[in-house]
Amino acid sequence: MSHSPRRAPLDLPALRRDLLAPAGPLARLDVVEVSASTNTELVGAVRAAPGEWPAPAALVAEHQAAGRGRAGRAWETPPRAALTVSVLLRPRLAPARLGWLPLLAGLAVVRAVDAAGVPGAAVKWPNDVLLPAPDDAAGLGPFRKVAGVLAEVVPVADDRGLAAVVVGVGLNVDQSAAELPVPTATSLALAGADADRGALLGELVRGLVEAAGALEDAGGDAAAAGLAAEYARRSATLGRPVRAELAGGADVVEGDALRVDDDGSLVLATTAGERAVTAGDVHHLRAT
C-alpha cells in the first residue's frame, strides 16, 4: 500500500536549519528511524552524558515501537504516521512549579494543532489533547484523543545546577481509524487535515520552549505569565463533573473541576469540600 506524502521522511537538514540556534530555539536536534520510546532513550542519554545534551534539545523518532504513556501504558505508532518527540528542558524553576510544564506541553500541542488548521482542540487535565467528536466517548465526553504527553524529571544537574525535565509528546497525524489503538482516539487526518509532521514539529517545539520561557520569566507564576488563563480557555475539563483516579490506585475522587492551582494540580469541588489532585487519570462524567 502506498502512503500519502504526509508519510514521507522528515527533512532533517531543513529542520535543523529552522530549529537549531541561532535561527531556532534548540541546542540539539536528533531524528532516529526507530525508537522503543523517545522518552526512555532521551532520559537515559541525559543520565549517561548530560554534557552532550544541552537544553533545550529534542529527540524525534520516525517510528516509536514501545512508547510509554501515563501509568506505564504502551503506545505504538505506524512508521511516519505520527509525530513522536521528546524535548529536554532545564527550566529555572523551583521544584514546586515544575508541575506546570506538562500542562504547558499540552497547551503547545493545542497551538500546533491550531496552526495545522484543525479547530476545537482542547486539553483534558493534565495534558491529553482532544478533538471534537459527534458523539460521547466514555471518560472523554464529546471528544476523541489526538495526543498525549508524558513528562519526567531527571535529577542530573548541569553546570548551573539545573535539573532536567524530559517532555514526550505523541501526536496522531496520519493514522486511519483502523491504525488507531483504541476507538476513543483520533488523528489529524481523520479530522480532515493534510498536516505536515515537520511543520507540526516546528510549531510544537517553538511553542513549548516559548511557554517554558514565559513561565521562567514570571518566576514560575503561570497566572502572571498569562498561561493559566490560556490553559483555562482551552480546557475540556474545567467546569464539568469528573472522576479522578489517583496515581497508584490510592483513591478515587469525584467532583466538579473548579480550577488549576498554582502548582498545576486540579482542584475539585467535592461533597466533602475542595480537593486538589496532583497526579492521576481524570474521566469526564455526564452532567446530571
**Could you tell me which of 229, 239, 226, 221 has the C-alpha nearest to residue 287?**
239
Does residue 119 share a domain with residue 65?
yes
Does residue 111 share a domain with residue 166?
yes
pLDDT of residue 133: 96
**What is the C-alpha to C-alpha distance for residues 94 and 204, in angstroms, rounded to an integer?**
24
Query: 231 or 249: which carries more pLDDT confidence?
Result: 231
Does residue 92 share a domain with residue 18?
yes
Does residue 255 share a domain with residue 124?
no
- Which residue has cell 523551583? 94
- Residues 41-87: tens digit of each pLDDT: 999 999 999 999 999 999 999 998 865 554 455 556 789 999 999 99
Does residue 267 share a domain with residue 226?
no
Does residue 272 share a domain with residue 219?
no
**CA neighbours closer than 13 Å in the CB half-sphere of residue 196:** 8
Q: Which of 233, 250, 272 is the last residue before a domain boundary? A: 233
Does residue 146 share a domain with residue 261?
no
pLDDT of residue 3: 47
Low-confidence winner among 67-81, 89-103, 141-155, 268-282 (lowest mean pLDDT) = 67-81
Residue 1 burial (CB < 10 Å; 0-12/13-18/19+)? exposed
Print the domain residue range for 84.
Answer: 5-233
**CA neighbours closer than 13 Å in the CB half-sphere of residue 252:** 3
Does residue 197 share a domain with residue 82?
yes
Residue 89's pLDDT band (cuts 50, 70, 90): very high
Q: What is the pTM assigned to this prediction?
A: 0.93
3-class secondary structure per residue, 4-35? CHHHCCCCHHHHHHHHECCCCCECEEEEEEEE
Q: Which of 198, 214, 233 is the last residue before a domain boundary? A: 233
- Residues 6-52: tens digit of each pLDDT: 689 999 999 999 999 999 999 999 999 999 999 999 999 999 999 99
CB 163 within 8 A of CB 90: yes
Residue 203's pLDDT band (cuts 50, 70, 90): very high
Does residue 25 share a domain with residue 67?
yes
Residue 173's pLDDT band (cuts 50, 70, 90): very high
> Is pLDDT above 80 for 103?
yes
Residue 224's pLDDT band (cuts 50, 70, 90): very high
pLDDT of residue 246: 86
Does residue 250 share a domain with residue 124?
no
Hey, what's the cell of 45?
542519554
For residue 74, the cross-strand partners are 68
Residue 288's pLDDT band (cuts 50, 70, 90): low
The enclosing domain of 122 has a CATH number of 3.30.930.10
Does residue 169 share a domain with residue 114?
yes
Q: Which residues in 138-279 belong to E strands, given as ranges?
A: 141-154, 164-172, 241-246, 252-260, 266-270, 273-277
Residue 265's pLDDT band (cuts 50, 70, 90): very high
Handedness of CA 104, 108, 109, 113 (dihedral sign): positive
Does residue 208 share a domain with residue 131?
yes
pLDDT of residue 1: 40
The enclosing domain of 263 has a CATH number of 2.30.30.100
Number of domains in the chain: 2
